[in-house]
Amino acid sequence: MFNCPGRSICDRQGLTIGIFCIPLLLSGSGAEGAFYLCAGLFHLSTPNIYLSLLGISGRAQHVGEELAKDLLLPSSEEEKRRHKKKRLVQSPNSYFMDVKCPGCYKITTVFSHAQTVVLCVGCSTVLCQPTGGKARLTEGCSFRRKQH
């Protein structure tokens, strides 16, 4: 790697790696070579060592590689794991479901995060019990998630 005049760092083929680079001197770090702060990336002048300060990925990023994640179109699994308010489109974690009683086969609508014990209308069997978050269904109860 070599330093292009004043504004960017280029690799051996002349491809720009960072824009508006600022040379940094880190004393006592034990690393050899010059450090540069470049448009959010932290580069070491020895080849193939690039550390990301952006927090996008825990792995090191190399020149010419794509990002480890697509930030505009995350997978549905990633969206489900995210906090309900930090998703691309806010959506609740709760839902309503139809629960079928194992004794009399009557269907009762139950909220997924119910905070009270829900009893069957027909036979007074306990259908679900509250926990700290989602309600726990009784063994033998079948359910289906209601559509909006």
pLDDT (tens, 9 = 90+) of the chain, 148 residues, equals 444 445 555 555 554 454 444 555 545 555 455 555 455 444 444 444 444 434 444 444 455 666 678 888 999 999 999 999 999 999 999 999 999 999 999 999 999 999 999 999 999 999 999 999 999 999 999 999 998 7
CATH architecture designation of domain 96-145: Single Sheet (2.20)
Domain boundaries, the chain: 2-52, 96-145
Q: Which two tokens stand for residue 52?
A: 């990301």
Per-residue confidence (pLDDT) for residue 53, from 0 to 100: 39
DSSP string for 88-126: SS---S--EEEEE-TTT--EEEEETT--S-EE-TTT--E
Burial label for 101, CB within 10 Å (0-12, 13-18, 19+), is buried
β-bridge partners, 23: 36
Per-residue confidence (pLDDT) for residue 71, from 0 to 100: 84
Who contacts 146 (Cβ-Cβ below 8 Å, separation ≥6)?
Answer: 95, 96, 97, 98, 109
Per-residue confidence (pLDDT) for residue 67, from 0 to 100: 65
Please report where in the chains the tokens 């010059």 appear, as a residue.
34
Per-residue confidence (pLDDT) for residue 108, from 0 to 100: 95
